[in-house]
Amino acid sequence: MKMNDKVRVENLETEAVIGVYAFEQVSPQPLLIDLELTTDFSRAFESDDLKDALDYDALSKKVRSFCEQSRYALLEALAGGIIYLLFEHPAISKVGVRIRKPQALKGAMASVWCERTREAL
Q: What is the pLDDT along the chain (121 residues), one digit of tens a residue?
A: 678 999 999 999 999 999 999 999 999 999 999 999 999 999 999 999 999 999 999 999 999 999 999 999 999 999 999 999 999 999 999 999 999 999 999 999 999 999 999 999 8
What pTM was computed for the model? 0.95
Return the pLDDT at 1. 66
- Number of residues assigned to the chain: 121
DSSP H helix total and E strand total for the chain:
3, 5
Of the residues 2, 61, 62, 101, which is catalytic? 101
Return the pLDDT at 2. 74
The domains of the chain, with CATH numbers, are: 5-120 (3.30.1130.10)
Residue of 83, 77, 112, 78 whose CA lies nearest to 98: 112
Return the pLDDT at 34. 98
* Residue 51 among the catalytic residues: no
